[in-house]
Amino acid sequence: MILGLGALAALGGLVQAQTAAPRFITVASTTSTVDSGLFNHILPLFKAQTGIEVRVISQGTGQALDTGRRGDADVVFVHAKAAEERFVAEGFSTLRRPVMYNDFVLIGPKADPAGIRGSRDIAAALKAIQTRLSPFVSRGDRSGTHQAELALWQAAGIDLAATRGTWYREIGQGMGAALNTASAMNGYVLADRATWLSFRNRGELEIIVEGDRRLFNQYGIMLVNPARHAHVKQADGQAFIDWIVSPEGQSAITGYKIDGQQLFFVNANEPGA
């Protein structure tokens, strides 16, 4: 069969379109950026401007950092500053950029068996929960929230290894699963406010403790070091980071609200954030 020049050109164009690789990056990120709905809001805006698709691996912060260490992501976007700084010190990134913050809240049943509602002292609240052996759900997944929770128990002077019992339940899962478990068992749980605001299966749960400065929750973003993993998409990964910390990206984050409530507060240009 003989094809005309026009048909050959059309066929060539079709083959080229089919073989052209999609332009995308992989971002390993804490579950809260996904569970809160933030990424569903901002990622289409970034793709519309740049043509770069962002494929997200949703994990606890510890797992996301390990994904970056293996070179299985181009960018890491998490919320555990000490662990992020260690990631940079180890050479897996060359720079951590602050992006935004919100806070943690202690969620619990309306009946409040530990008697801590309205307290602004998270350490005292945790002591009361442990003393009364009230049910507490821990993510237990090395996430930023889990790391913050463990630090708060330590600040409260409680040795979980010595005192934990059936009242303390580790589930090894994300924030949504932890909230669902707490709802099912009418237990207490530490959550980031953004995921809580987007959570609909609340049952008898409500915010019990908030406002302690120790509940501050900072997020940072890092490019995985291409010197460690040559396949990292450096240009496109850096384009995403640059957009996130730019006025346009920061405005997109600020504009994300649920029921009129802002979920994240930007601070990319705040020294030391």
List pLDDT tens digits, range 198-244.
998 899 999 999 999 999 999 999 999 999 999 999 999 999 999 99
Strands (E), the chain: 24-30, 53-59, 75-78, 96-109, 136-138, 168-170, 188-192, 205-209, 216-223, 257-258, 261-262, 265-266
CB 188 within 8 A of CB 208: yes
**pLDDT tens-digit profile of 99-156?**
999 999 999 999 999 999 999 999 999 999 999 999 999 999 989 999 999 999 999 9
Domain ranges in the chain? Answer: 22-101+217-266, 103-215
The pTM of this model reads 0.86
**Buried (b) or exposed (e) across 230-261, using 16+ Cβ within 10 A?**
eebbbebbbbbbebbbeeebbebbeebeeeee
CB 104 within 8 A of CB 218: no
CA dist 226 and 200 (Å) reads 40
CB 221 within 8 A of CB 241: yes
CB 81 within 8 A of CB 250: no
pLDDT value at 17 more than 60? no
Q: Please check whether the two domains, 22-101+217-266 and 103-215, share a CATH topology.
A: yes
Q: What's the distance, Cα to Cα, between the start and end of the chain in Å?
A: 67
Q: What CATH fold (topology level) applies to the domain 22-101+217-266? A: D-Maltodextrin-Binding Protein; domain 2 (3.40.190)
How confident is the model over 43-47, as a mean pLDDT?
98
**pLDDT tens-digit profile of 237-265?**
999 999 999 999 999 999 999 999 999 99
pLDDT of 22 = 87
The pair phi, psi for residue 219, each rounded to 5°, is -110, 145
Q: Judge: domain 103-215, CATH 3.30.365.10.
A: no
pLDDT of 120 = 96
pLDDT value at 270 more than 50? yes
